[in-house]
Amino acid sequence: MFELAEELLRRLDAGEPVAVVTVTRVLGSAPRPVGCSMAVAATASGERVLGAISGGCAESAAHALAQQVLASGAPVTEHLGFDEWAFSTGLSCGGQLRVLGYRLDASRPELIAELRAAADGSDAALAIVSRGPDELLGRVVTLTGGDAGLPAGVLGVVRRELADRLVDGVCGVLEPSDEVELAVLVSRARPRLLIFGAVDVAGALSRLGRQLGYRVTVCDARALFATAERFPDADQVVVDWPARYLASIEVDARTVIAVLTHEERFDVPLLTAALDGPAGYIGAMGSRRTHQRRLGLLREAGVSAQALERLHSPIGLDLGAVTPMETAVSIMAEVIASRTGAAARPLAQGSGPIHAVVVPA
């Protein structure tokens, strides 16, 4: 749901009726995880469909469910898949989805507050009752608000789960009692993408990084090149020496650092500092010859062999990229593979399910 936050709020602020269908449990292999949503807004010019809950095979059922919610205003659950509970829709991948349809309106202040936090790029978390008595279905608990009609002891369990889920950023399912199940939906604050070097690839990388949910900064010591006009997709353009700027900001394990300058006077002090920090991905552009020379200079600067193993250089996956955007795709593909631990080989060369298989608890 949080992936639709900006658009949902836009429709809500315009006074348009909106119904949301959210995946609350995944069984087996399915293309979308718990928390993803489709929404249907009733606009003056007709319906508008936002988002998706599958690769296409369950969208018609989700749309029909949203229409039902718009008409009745009451939350409703449905099971999509092939088993004794299945309805008319099955997932071609063989997986099963349980979904919850509910109306989004001003009567749901806790939910709306978390949507606004997600749209602002801040942490957001809520638990929504996806199975239970009719009077509880669709009710929301947040870290600071809502009680969903749950007993105090159960409410404490739910809030502790919300806090834990915000640490790893993964949505999930919670069954605090035999009678109630909640989908726990979280959206962490946008991670940082730090691009050093106001070169042409930086423009493409900032555009792609923003689309992938990063808070993008472009930094270069040359004021002539580091301008907001040249990098309209960046959240921030900084004129400063790269190593000095890096030392002035907070970096964490979700931070991506892309060094595109391939100039030793910038690269060596910057990478020395970066490799001494917690950034999850550190990559540097340059030829293999440049890379080898850079490694020697970093060793001379005191960077350990263990730290140098963290450096992705030359940066990016070998996609045969030529244009700035192709190069940006190769870089972000490596970032994703590095984060997930994926082999980054063609899916056709693998075996087994291409989506993660979720085993029922």
3-state secondary structure of 118: helix
Handedness of CA 165, 168, 170, 174 (dihedral sign): negative
Q: How confident is the model at residue 348 (pLDDT cuts 50, 70, 90)?
A: confident
Stated pTM of the model = 0.78
Report the Cα–Cα distance between both ends of the chain, in Å, rounded. Answer: 23
Q: What is the CA radius of gyration of the chain?
A: 23
Instruction: Say which residue, 81 or 164, is predicted with more confidence.
Output: 164
Q: What's the confidence (pLDDT) of residue 291?
A: 92
Higher pLDDT, 85 or 90: 90
Q: What is the average pLDDT score of the chain? A: 89
187 vs 169: CA distance, rounded Å: 6
pLDDT for position 57 = 65
- For 263, other C-beta atoms within 10 Å of its C-beta total 15
The reported pLDDT for the residue numbered 83 is 44
Please report the pLDDT score of residue 94 as a whole number.
Answer: 54
The CATH architecture assigned to 192-340 reads 3-Layer(aba) Sandwich (3.40)
The DSSP annotation for 269-282 comes to: HHHHHHTTS--SEE
pLDDT tens digit string along 206-265?
999 999 999 999 999 999 999 999 999 999 999 999 999 999 999 999 999 999 987 888
- So what's the pLDDT on residue 342? 86
pLDDT value at residue 219: 97
Q: Is the dihedral of CA 240, 243, 244, 247 positive or negative?
A: positive
Which among 282, 324, 18, 342 is positioned nearest to 333, based on CA atoms? 342
Q: What is the DSSP string of 39-77?
A: EEEEETTEEEEEE-SSSSTTHHHHHHHHHHHHHH---EE
**39-80 per-position pLDDT tens digit:** 999 888 888 999 988 766 678 888 999 999 999 999 999 988
93 or 355: which leads in pLDDT: 355
Cβ atoms of residues 158 and 127 within 8 Å: yes
Task: Give how far the C-alpha of residue 197 lies from the chain's centroid of Cα atoms, to the nearest Å.
Answer: 25
- Look-up of token digits 């809950």: 53
Q: Is residue 35 predicted with pLDDT exceeding 80?
A: yes
Which pLDDT score is estimated for 30? 61
94 Ramachandran zone, left/alpha/beta (phi>0; psi -120 to 50): left
Distances in whole angstroms, Cα of residue 98 to Cα of each of 73, 127, 158, 204, 222: 19, 15, 20, 38, 53
pLDDT of residue 91: 47
What pLDDT digit, counting tens, does each position of 171-198 carry?
A: 999 998 888 999 999 999 999 999 999 9
> Which residues are registered as beta bridge partners of 183?
128, 173
Closest CA to 70 of 21, 18, 105, 12: 18
- The dihedral through the CA atoms of 343, 345, 347, 352 has a sign that is negative
Cα angle value 157/162/166 (rounded, 5°): 150
pLDDT in tens, 131-167: 999 999 999 999 988 888 888 888 999 999 999 999 8
**Would you say residue 330 has pLDDT above 50?**
yes
Domain ranges of the chain: 2-187, 192-340
Q: Give the Cα separation of 199 and 219 in Å (integer).
A: 10
What is the pLDDT, as a whole number, of residue 162?
94
Q: What is the pLDDT of residue 26?
A: 86
Range list of H helices, 143-277: 152-168, 200-211, 242-247, 264-274
Whether 31 has a pLDDT exceeding 80, the answer reads: no
Q: What's the mean pLDDT in 300-305?
A: 95
The per-residue pLDDT for 54 is 76
CA separation for the pair 220, 222 (Å, rounded): 5
Q: CB–CB of 102/69 below 8 Å?
A: yes
CA distance 261 to 266: 7
Separation in Å, CA 82 to CA 27, 33, 90, 98, 358: 11, 18, 6, 12, 15
